[in-house]
Amino acid sequence: MDHLPLFLRVQDRRAVVIGGGAVAARKAQLLLACGARVALIAPTLGAAARELVERGRVQHTGAPFAPEQLLDAVVAIAATDSTALNQAVARAAHERSVPVNVVDDAEHSSFILPAIIDRSPVVVAIGTQGCAPVLARNLREQIEAALPARLGALARFAGRQRARVRALLRPDLRRSFWERFFAGPAATRLLAGDEAAAEQAFGQALERARSVTSPRGEVYLIGAGPGDPDLITVRALQLLQQADVVLYDKLVGEEILERSRRDARRIFVGKEAGGCRTAQERINQLLIEHAGRGLRVARLKGGDPFVFGRGGEEMAELVRAGIPVTVVPGITAGLAAAAAAGIPLTQRTLAQSVTFATGHFASDDALNWDALARPRQTVVFYMGVAQLEHIAARLRAAGAPAERPAAIIERASLPGQRVMRATLGTLCRRARSEGVSAPALLIVGEVAAADAAQALEHVLTGLPGAA
CATH number for the domain including 102?
3.40.50.720
pLDDT at 452: 52
- φ/ψ of 224, rounded to 5, equals -85, 0
Q: How many CB atoms lie within 10 A of CB 157?
A: 19
Residues 111 and 125: their CA atoms lie apart, in Å, by 13
Q: How many helices (H) and strands (E) does the chain have?
A: 17, 17
| Domain match, 306 and 225 both | yes
Instruction: Clarify whether residues 321 and 345 are in a common domain.
Output: no
Could you give the 3-state DSSP secondary structure of residue 301?
strand
Of 162, 180, 210, the last residue of a domain is 210
Q: What is the pLDDT of residue 213?
A: 72
| Residue 7 belongs to some domain of the structure | no
Q: The domain containing residue 59 runs over which residues? A: 14-113
Catalytic residue flag (residue 271): yes
Tell me the residue ranges of DSSP E strands in 271-426: 296-301, 325-328, 354-358, 378-382, 405-410, 418-423
Q: Whose CA is closest to 152, among 184, 179, 121, 113? A: 121
For residues 3 and 78, give the distance between their C-alpha atoms in angstroms, rounded to a whole number: 19
Question: What is the CATH classification number for the domain harbouring 279?
Answer: 3.40.1010.10
Q: Identify the segments of the chain with pLDDT beneath 70.
A: 271-278, 362-364, 450-467
CB-facing half-sphere around the CA of 52: CA atoms within 13 A: 31
Note whether residue 83 is domain-resident.
yes
Residue 173 shares a structural domain with residue 264: no
Q: Is 0.75 topped by the overall pTM? A: no
Catalytic residue among 271, 301, 304, 364: 271
Say if 305 falls within a structural domain.
Answer: yes
What pLDDT shows up at residue 76?
A: 98
Contact (CB, 8 A) for 370 and 398: yes
Please name which of 129, 134, 135, 137 lies closest in space to residue 109, comparing C-alpha atoms. 129
Number of domains composing the chain: 4
The whole-angstrom separation of Cα 458 and Cα 362 is 42
> Nearest-5° angle of CA 145, CA 150, CA 153?
145
From the list 360, 356, 343, the residue with the least C-alpha distance to 419 is 343
User: How confident is the model at residue 328, as a pLDDT?
Assistant: 95
Please enumerate, as own/partner, the contacts of 109-117 that have beta carbons within 8 Å and a separation of 24 or more: 111/3, 111/6, 111/75, 112/3, 113/27, 113/30, 114/5, 115/139, 115/140, 116/30, 116/140, 117/143, 117/144, 117/147
Residue 194 lies in a domain: yes
The answer for residues whose C-beta is within 8 angstroms of residue 6's C-beta and 6 or more apart is: 111
Q: What pLDDT shows up at residue 362?
A: 57
Q: Given 113, 142, 173, which residue is the final one in a domain? A: 113
Question: Is 461 contained in some domain?
Answer: no
DSSP at 216: P
Domain boundary among 305, 331, 357: 331
Do residue 318 and residue 341 come from a single domain?
no
pLDDT by residue (tens digit) across 277-332?
A: 448 899 999 999 999 988 999 999 999 999 999 999 999 999 999 999 999 999 99
Neighbours of 140 (CB within 10 A): 17
Selected catalytic residue, list 27, 228, 244, 249: 249
CATH number at residue 364: 3.30.950.10
- Same-domain pairing of 246 and 282: yes
Q: Do residues 72 and 82 make contact, with C-beta atoms less than 8 angstroms apart?
A: no
**Using one digit for the tens of pLDDT, what is the confidence trace for 155-202?**
999 999 999 999 999 887 898 899 889 988 999 999 999 999 999 999
DSSP 337-348: HHHHHT--SSBT
249 is catalytic: yes
DSSP structural state of residue 326: E
Contact 153, 181 (CB under 8 A): no
Same domain for 93 and 54?
yes
Rounded Cα–Cα distance for residues 127 and 305 (Å): 35
Bond into 121 cis (ω within 30)? yes
